[in-house]
Amino acid sequence: MCGEEGEDAQLPAISTVGECAYINFKEVNGKEGWECQWCGLSFKPRHATRAMRHVLKLKGGDIAICKAVISARYRDRYQALYDRQFTRVDSKRKSDEIIRDSVTEQQEAAVQSLLDTRKQPGVSGLRKLPHSFSSSHVASASGGAARSSSSTSLQGQRSVSTMHRSYIRRSNDATVEMAIADFFHCENIPDAVVESSRFKRLISEE
């Protein structure tokens, strides 16, 4: 409850906007909604953040702002609640970002070691690929005269770029594979899920 009217006394803090006597959670046309007792308008659905934006007269919050005069003590209390809640959301968002970055880092490291263990013919020299790829380009572009004798270098260039492409494909596959495996393992998802037709539909390429 909002407490008794007093001229100077600060209102006790509230932990949800519904605790304020001026925000009345009630049924509106048979659905859960709420009523602002400052302006007398009712809204649905019930939405604490929108209720706060309404009484704080913050535009652009999917809710009309309150047209009534709201006493400063109440406004301060709403503002304090709003600040507290949004500081929490911000710090939650930050910690989510940190977790996401570290998951990405771990998965990338795992992908690299997965690729290292899958050294297939032609894959072992991959780290040097960008260099050899560009040098073969330079070689074939270095002069028209070289063109006549370039059938072997053209051949080489083609196989390098094929290798490069297949490395990228393999690396993408491994990245996806690792992300899926990590997700399954860390979220405790039973292996049987892969038999689900919903799952198959999810990962099918169409």
Site residues (CB under 5 A) for Zn ion? Answer: 36, 38-39, 66
Closest approach of Cβ 58 to Zn ion, in Å?
A: 12
> In whole angstroms, how close is the CB of 198 to Zn ion at the nearest point?
44
The two three-digit tokens of residue 35, written as one number: 């009523």
Write down the least CB distance from residue 64 to Zn ion, Å: 8
Q: What are phi and psi of 9, to 5 degrees?
A: -55, 135
Task: Considering the complex, state which of residue 46 and residue 164 has its C-beta at the smaller distance from Zn ion.
Answer: 46
- By C-beta, is 74 or 133 nearer to Zn ion? 74
- With respect to Zn ion, which residue has the nearer C-beta, 66 or 174? 66
The least distance separating Zn ion from the CB of residue 75, rounded to whole angstroms, comes to: 12
Q: Which is nearer to Zn ion, 14 or 36 (CB)?
A: 36
> Judged by CB, which is closer to Zn ion: 2, or 123?
2
Nearer to Zn ion, 38 or 78 (CB): 38
- The residues, ordered by sequence, that sit 6+ positions from 163 with a Cβ below 8 Å of its Cβ are 122, 126, 129
Question: How far from 34 is each of 25, 50, 58, 62, 75, CA to CA, in Å?
Answer: 4, 10, 18, 15, 18
What's the residue count for the chain? Answer: 206
CB of 48 to Zn ion, least distance (A): 14
Q: How many CA atoms lie less than 13 Å away from 81 in the CB half-sphere?
A: 24
Name the phi and psi angles at 204, rounded to 5: -65, 150
Q: 79, 56 in Cβ contact below 8 A?
A: yes
CA–CA separation, 90 vs 88, rounded Å? 5
Q: Minimum Å distance from CB 9 to Zn ion?
A: 23
**Residues 6+ positions from 66 with CB-CB distance below 8 Å:** 36, 38, 39, 41, 54, 55, 57
| Spacing of C-alpha 94 from chain mean position | 11
